[in-house]
Structure 1
Amino acid sequence: MRVIAGCARGRTLKTRKGMDTRPTADRVKESLFNILTPYLSGAEMLDVFAGNGGVGIEALSRGADRCVFVEKNAQCAKIIKDNLILTGLADRGEILPRDALGALSLLQKRENRFNIIFLDPPYHSPELADVLRKIAQGCLLLPDGLLLVEHHSADFSWHDPAIWNISREKKYGDTTISFLSPAAAGGDVSMSQQEEDK
């Protein structure tokens, strides 16, 4: 796994051995950042269920100002720290080695707000719906901010339309990235906004 573009381009990132983590594939990450790049300059980003930190580090490499990484697995949190050092981005990253809901409560108390929030939980995670509810309750997403969820293409059990609308979808086989906006903003996803990459 490597950094695709930006100041750390080409750096190979450490990953945890085994199947317990599922790093965002390079082709998915490249497509994702084709969309995100115009929003990155100076952005404050939150990467939840961060794994090896690949998505947040890519954002920092491409111009995000700061990224908070939330990862409860101690080994993965250490890998994120190593990857930030490896890419020369350690001064712009913060790691919260705790569960997602606990980290979100801390960020709410600190009154942190983010331009981009990226969630990449294990597929079919029962925690995801609660995390999305907490983000809404804590007002952690800035107005006009972007909230993205990477999930299994067949699983929308986490989606509560009373809280979040799905404004766009990008499909990559079994993986889908859904772009969410507050339900108060109106407008669920239409067929013309669904995109699929074979």
Structure 2
Amino acid sequence: MTRIIAGRARGARLEVPGAGTRPTSDRVRESLFGALESADAIAEARVLDLYAGSGALGLEALSRGAAEADLVERGRQAAGIIRRNAAVVAKAGGHARARVHEVAVHSFLLRASGPFDLVFIDPPYDIDDAAMTADLVALAPSLSPHALVVVERARRSTPPDFAAAGLDLIREKSYGDTALWWAEPSGGEDAPAETAAADAAQPETESQSR
């Protein structure tokens, strides 16, 4: 069982789809969100959670003070679970402004309006590089000028082609066989030094549950 780690809905239990998704472990989420909070990237942010699975990333952001979240998941069962999880988080005080979109990610991005301030992209490990790049290019017009985009993939994967979407890679960190890449629109402000310090305080390798 996955739980909300911190914030107004701390401890709320989240359902996880039985198959077809790859939940981010609690330890990786804790490290990620600690760094995001150090960068002041969550409070009042408009969040986009792509390939949302259980919705844990977007809902964690809502619990920690994000203004609203759009969660995109094309799987019917998973989308239903996200809706139930969003209701649990709202009841626990985490925020009610969660919108679930049961549609393919690329289709959503082609009509998305934005602007989004914080974007999580956690695709299936078997997504190919061309599809990953196409998603980033489609996402770019919907980003705010100082948005943060966090991509989670297998550490063995080719790094995302952020340059094709006009984004700059600003951080990369590995946890076991999982890697997180952070990017921002070219010309955006550099991430604060406090974020780097928060990363440095975390071990470079951690286990990831499946």
**TM-score (normalizing by structure 1):** 0.87
SS of 1:91 mapped into structure 2: coil
1:72 aligns with 2:80: no
**Does the C-alpha gap of structure 1 residues 67 and 185 become closer, same or farther in structure 2, counting only changes over 3 Å?**
closer
* Structure 2 counterpart of 1:190: none
TM-superposed deviation, 1:161: 3.1
Give the residue type in structure 2 aligned to 1:197: T
SS of 2:180 mapped into structure 1: strand
The total of aligned residue pairs comes to 187
* Structure 1 counterpart of 2:14: 13
Question: Taking every aligned residue pair, what percent have the same amino acid on both sides?
Answer: 35
* Structure 2 counterpart of 1:197: 205
RMSD: 2.1
Partners of 1:2 and 1:78 in 2: CA distance? 17
1:172 aligns with 2:175: yes
TM-superposed deviation, 1:173: 1.1
**Does the C-alpha gap of structure 1 residues 144 and 186 become closer, same or farther in structure 2, counting only changes over 3 Å?**
closer
Give the residue type in structure 2 aligned to 1:3: I
C-alpha contact 2:145 2:188 (8 A) present in aligned 1: no
- 1:119-178 alpha-carbon deviations (Å, 9 max, x no partner): 000014122111011112xx1110111011001111126425343332101210110110
The structure 2 residue matched to 1:130, chosen from 122, 131, 134, is: 134
Structure 1 segments of 4+ aligned residues over 6 angstroms from their partners: none
- 1:28-54 alpha-carbon deviations (Å, 9 max, x no partner): 000000011222111100000000100
Partners of 1:148 and 1:160 in 2: CA distance? 11
**Does the C-alpha gap of structure 1 residues 15 and 184 become closer, same or farther in structure 2, counting only changes over 3 Å?**
same
Residue range with higher mean Cα deviation, 57-66 or 126-135: 126-135
- 1:66-115 alpha-carbon deviations (Å, 9 max, x no partner): 000010001100000000111115731001110011111221xxx32111
1:19-168 paired onto structure 2 within 5 Å: 20-37=20-37, 38-88=40-90, 89=94, 91-107=96-112, 111-126=113-128, 127-136=131-140, 139-156=141-158, 158-163=160-165, 164-168=167-171
Give the residue type in structure 2 aligned to 1:35: A
Unaligned 5+ runs, structure 1: 188-192
Partners of 2:185 and 2:45 in 1: CA distance? 19
Partners of 2:86 and 2:158 in 1: CA distance? 32
Partners of 1:9 and 1:160 in 2: CA distance? 33
- 1:5-38 alpha-carbon deviations (Å, 9 max, x no partner): 01110111001113x2101100000000001122
Asked which structure has the greater RCO (Cα within 8 Å, sep 6+), the reply is 2
Partners of 1:26 and 1:49 in 2: CA distance? 17
SS of 1:39 mapped into structure 2: coil
C-alpha contact 1:124 1:152 (8 A) present in aligned 2: no
Partners of 1:185 and 1:115 in 2: CA distance? 12
**Does the C-alpha gap of structure 1 residues 183 and 41 become closer, same or farther in structure 2, counting only changes over 3 Å?**
closer
Unaligned 5+ runs, structure 2: 191-195
Partners of 1:162 and 1:131 in 2: CA distance? 11
**TM-score (normalizing by structure 2):** 0.82
